[in-house]
């Protein structure tokens, strides 16, 4: 906070009171409703997984190519892409125990 106060001291300015009636547009901007157009509601785990995937030395395409080689993961990825499987009906025990399964399920449903 002190750093910001010192920064502001370097400017030459005057602070003047302005009645809201004379400056209603600024008041309106602070009260406008925010429209929510969020496509995905990412959870904490999803955000963490995205950040971890981005740190990998391989690309998403390489990860996808290796996924297709594994029969079980290939079936999961295909089902997700065709809309036959959603994150809600994935076997939760397996989903929680296997981080690779979580990454592939996440890639197939939201991240692409």
- Per residue in 36-69, pLDDT (tens digit) is 666 666 677 777 877 877 787 877 778 778 878 8
Burial class (CB in 10 A: 0-12, 13-18, 19+), 105: buried
Q: Is 15 domain-assigned?
A: yes
**pLDDT digits 0-9 by tens, 100-112:** 555 665 565 544 4
pTM above 0.75, yes or no: no
Q: What are phi and psi of 49, to 5 degrees?
A: -65, -40
CA 40, 44, 48: angle at the middle one, nearest 5?
100
Total domains in the chain come to 2
Torsion of CA 14, 17, 20, 24, to 10 degrees: -10
Q: Are residues 67 and 96 in the same domain?
A: yes
Range of the domain at 96: 44-111
């Amino acid at each position: 906070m002190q750093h910001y106060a010192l920064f502001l001291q370097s400017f030459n300015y005057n602070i003047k009171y302005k009645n809201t009636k004379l400056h209603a547009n600024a008041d309106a901007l602070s009260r406008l409703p925010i429209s929510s157009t969020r496509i995905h509601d990412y959870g904490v785990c999803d955000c963490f997984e995205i950040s971890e995937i981005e740190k990998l030395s391989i690309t998403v395409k390489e990860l996808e190519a290796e996924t297709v080689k594994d029969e079980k993961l290939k079936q999961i990825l295909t089902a997700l892409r065709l809309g036959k499987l959603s994150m809600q009906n994935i076997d939760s025990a397996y989903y929680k125990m296997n981080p690779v399964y979580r990454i592939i399920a996440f890639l197939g449903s939201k991240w692409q």
